[in-house]
Amino acid sequence: MTMAHAPDAPDFEAVAAQIAPDMARTGWHMHHATSAQVDRFQVLGERGCGTNVIRKVVHESLRIRKTEALGWKHGFPQMIALPPTFLTIIAVRNPRSWAHSLYKRPWHAVDSVQALGFSDFLRSPWHAYVDKLGHFDNIAPRLAPHNQPLQWDRHPITGAAFPNIFAMRNLKHRALMGMPTRGASCVFVSLDAFNAAPQAFLADLAKTFALAPTERGYAPVARRMGNRFTPVVSDRAPAPETWMEADLEWMKSQLDPATETALGFAV
């Protein structure tokens, strides 16, 4: 096993078998863990996976409160508890589009990572820092975290920086796939599927968790969200419209096949 591929967890295969058919068929999977009526939700997922737009649409379309009680939405699960009335929505995205998006907007990456061209960016160790306190929920200013390494983007056991963005993706996805094992009511949803059929997703969500529509109901999001990234490096090379074959092969060599397959992204 290399660090790029995540370690197996005891219940991983069972969770993967449960979610894979739905992710392949519709692009989302819904798991109601208890008989309790859910009344709060939080969206978790890596940058560039639609966490903002999914949160906005669910909050404005259905009668359920949004919260950030579980901590930073782009990190590893770190909650102290999961009440039976809490719903976790886990946003994912196909790896090629995700990597492309992260290169265009490398949120919290240090200057040296932002300065890299696309091919080098894919292969570079991921180093991130606390650039703006307003980007992080539940972070205490008294800790003086500004400009310090972003620990939520490091390996949660070893503390090491990830050797590349795909290693980080692998382990974060494995951790998020542990939510059902934690007893969480949760939803896995691909951004690609959500964008293609948001009303169908909302209908399944409302039916599964007995959620009533808001008075406003569904309305398309008029503006792009999560797009206000200001690069530190002003002359960054643009993201390529077409990937080089070598970059595609590198990406595939670094991805965790079992996780990608379970989430509907065969590699």
Tell me what the mean pLDDT of segment 89-103 comes to: 97
Nearest residue to 205 via CA among 196, 216, 215, 194 = 194
Give the pLDDT confidence of 214-258 residue by residue, as tens digits.
999 998 887 665 556 677 777 888 999 999 999 999 999 999 999
Sorted by where each begins, the domain ranges of the chain are 12-221+237-263
Q: Tell me if residue 27 falls in helix, strand or coil.
A: coil
146 pLDDT above the threshold of 90: no
pTM above 0.85, yes or no: yes
- The CATH number given to 12-221+237-263 is 3.40.50
Q: What pLDDT score does 118 carry? A: 97
8 pLDDT above the threshold of 90: no
Q: Tell me if residue 163 falls in helix, strand or coil.
A: coil
Q: b/e per residue, 202-229, with b = 16+ CB within 10 A?
A: bebbbebbebeeeeeebeeeeeeeeeee
